[in-house]
A and B are shown apart, each in its own frame.
Chain A
Amino acid sequence: MKNELIMNRLALAQDYTRLLDDEGYQLIDMNMVEPFRIDDKRHHSSTIIFEKNEQLFSIRSDWTRSLLNYNDNYYLSHRFFGYFGPVVRNYKTFYQAGVELYGPTETDVLGSIDMHLSFIRETYGREFSSIVVNDDKLLDLYIEKYGLPEDIRKLVHEKNLSELQKRLGRTHPLYKLMTAKVSDQITLVNREFGETDIMKFLNHLDEYLRKYGMKFILDLSFRSPQSYYNGFYFQVFLDHDYPLLSGGEYNSSAFGIAVNLSNGGLL
């Protein structure tokens, strides 16, 4: 690894954790060796597990789950946390930095996304190309409104257009939505569900982030690789093929954002 990359990562971590401190986030550092929990392994099959003194342990593979477990055990008084440090997945180490917000309001969520974007733009002078968003509950609305069977969900998630056409027909609103260009989907979803809380939030986010001049893309196929995200989910891209920021809602009342310190195009 080049010296420059190592130094840049550390400098970013320092700037970022200082920002979080200034903004009132509680910084957390924890042992990488954790008590083994089967739920963690289900969410992250790449988690390494080992035995020591007849007890099972795992190596941290995801800060969000580590913090959630820590919070469950110790009932932290703070609600907003920040972190920086390595995680291990399979045999590789990755660096993660990010925040977790427990029980945030909509203003808290918007403020945290804005804080990350303005930090990157001001510190690095970089512009964003696009933000991709979805909320898993939008597909629930289509399924309920049109009385669709549950297995349609899998076809939407994998964007299986040919099978959706066979099952729904070319004129079905969900088929039309899925074959539209992804940046046009928000207009179509607004026509049907613009008055729902989910779309009001996404439209509010769209307006709120206009100042960054990036493309706002809603796609019902867009999902997190982490199965615990169960509501709003987003990724922000620089002019690069891997996301720089990823985040979303989990556990119904928590929200997190992670900064990609490996291949997000910033370093």
Chain B
Amino acid sequence: MITVALTKGRLFKDFIEYMEENGLNDYIGALTGETRSLYTVVDDVKFIFAKGPDVPTYVESGVADLGIVGSDIIAEDEFNILNVSQLPFGDCHFSVAALPGQEAFGTIATKYTNVAFEHFKNRKMDVSLVHLNGSVELAPLLGLSDAIVDIVQTGGTLRDNGLIEYEKIMDIHARLIANKRTFYTKEDGIYAFLKEIGVV
């Protein structure tokens, strides 16, 4: 039995669509059933549902053998995991966004302070970072910051709040990650799952 950590957000819907396209119907039935349970078992695979940022923590500890997570999460924090493969869904990107006509970016509001710090350091720009847990679009509207660094998928939220993208920082994709020990101790189950979802 292997354990796969999933997140029940945007990535989850994309993963279900991906499985539909690839005919993995056994998994779809179990994963989309009406239940509040935080895990489900299909044959030799146990799926657990966690918050996105917690998926790498479950994988790093070995509670989960594999995980499907946005690359934004592993770009922001360091985890001792195998960063096995990009998956063909969950595409979006990190951007710097602000109100039109913003001339200087002295203060940046973001949930992703490490990504933002690295970006502005590489650009040799001296900025102050303000950490927010969400709804970062509010910060430039209310004068808390000059700009934001955030995930942009369609750009709809930015447009709705009158913000525009100034600079794309990096692409984001879904990634399959693995525990560094159980990759060996549960090799057969892990390779079978990697084959099923088209990673190898």
Residue in A160, A179, A182 whose beta carbon sits within 8 Å of that of B184 in the complex: A182
In the bound assembly, the distance between CA atoms of A137 and B80 in angstroms comes to 22
Contact string, A136-169, partner B, CB cutoff 8 A, digits 1/0?
Answer: 0000000000000000000000111111000000
Interface size on A, residues (CB 8 A): 24
Contacts of B182 in A (CB 8 A): 241
B83 interface contact, C-beta 8 A: yes
Q: Verify A241–B62 contact, CB threshold 8 A.
A: yes
B191 interface contact, C-beta 8 A: yes
A225 interface contact, C-beta 8 A: yes
Residue in A183, A242, A243 whose beta carbon sits within 8 Å of that of B187 in the complex: A183
Q: Verify A159–B83 contact, CB threshold 8 A.
A: yes
In the bound assembly, the distance between CA atoms of A179 and B200 in angstroms comes to 6
Residue in A160, A163, A179, A182 whose beta carbon sits within 8 Å of that of B183 in the complex: A182
Contacts of A225 in B (CB 8 A): 80
In the bound assembly, the distance between CA atoms of A222 and B187 in angstroms comes to 14
A186 interface contact, C-beta 8 A: no
Q: Verify B82–A158 contact, CB threshold 8 A.
A: yes
Contacts of B181 in A (CB 8 A): 235, 237, 241-243
Taking CB atoms and an 8 Å cut-off, the chain A residues in 213-267 that contact chain B are 217, 219, 221-222, 225, 235, 237, 240-243
Contacts of B185 in A (CB 8 A): 129-130, 237, 240-241
A132 interface contact, C-beta 8 A: yes
Contacts of B178 in A (CB 8 A): 159
In the bound assembly, the distance between CA atoms of A181 and B194 in angstroms comes to 11
Taking CB atoms and an 8 Å cut-off, the chain B residues in 39-98 that contact chain A are 62, 80, 82-86
Q: Verify A162–B184 contact, CB threshold 8 A.
A: no
Q: Verify B187–A163 contact, CB threshold 8 A.
A: no
B108 to chain A minimum Cβ distance, whole angstroms, is 28
Contacts of A160 in B (CB 8 A): 83-85
Taking CB atoms and an 8 Å cut-off, the chain A residues in 192-222 that contact chain B are 217, 219, 221-222
B151 to chain A minimum Cβ distance, whole angstroms, is 20
Closest residue on chain B to residue A219 by CB atoms? B184
Contacts of A242 in B (CB 8 A): 62, 181
B199 interface contact, C-beta 8 A: yes
Task: Identify which of A129, A162, A163, A183 gathers the most chain B CB atoms within 10 Å of its CB.
Answer: A162
A247 to chain B minimum Cβ distance, whole angstroms, is 16
Contacts of A235 in B (CB 8 A): 181
Contacts of A219 in B (CB 8 A): 184
Contact (A181, B187) CB under 8 Å given A159-B178, A161-B199, A241-B181:
yes
A56 to chain B minimum Cβ distance, whole angstroms, is 26
A-B contact pairs, 20 of them (CB 8 A): A130-B184, A132-B184, A159-B83, A159-B84, A159-B178, A162-B85, A163-B86, A181-B191, A182-B187, A217-B184, A217-B187, A219-B184, A225-B80, A235-B181, A237-B181, A241-B62, A241-B181, A241-B182, A241-B185, A242-B181
* In the complex, the 3 A-B pairs of residues with the closest C-beta atoms, listed nearest first: A162-B86, A162-B85, A159-B82
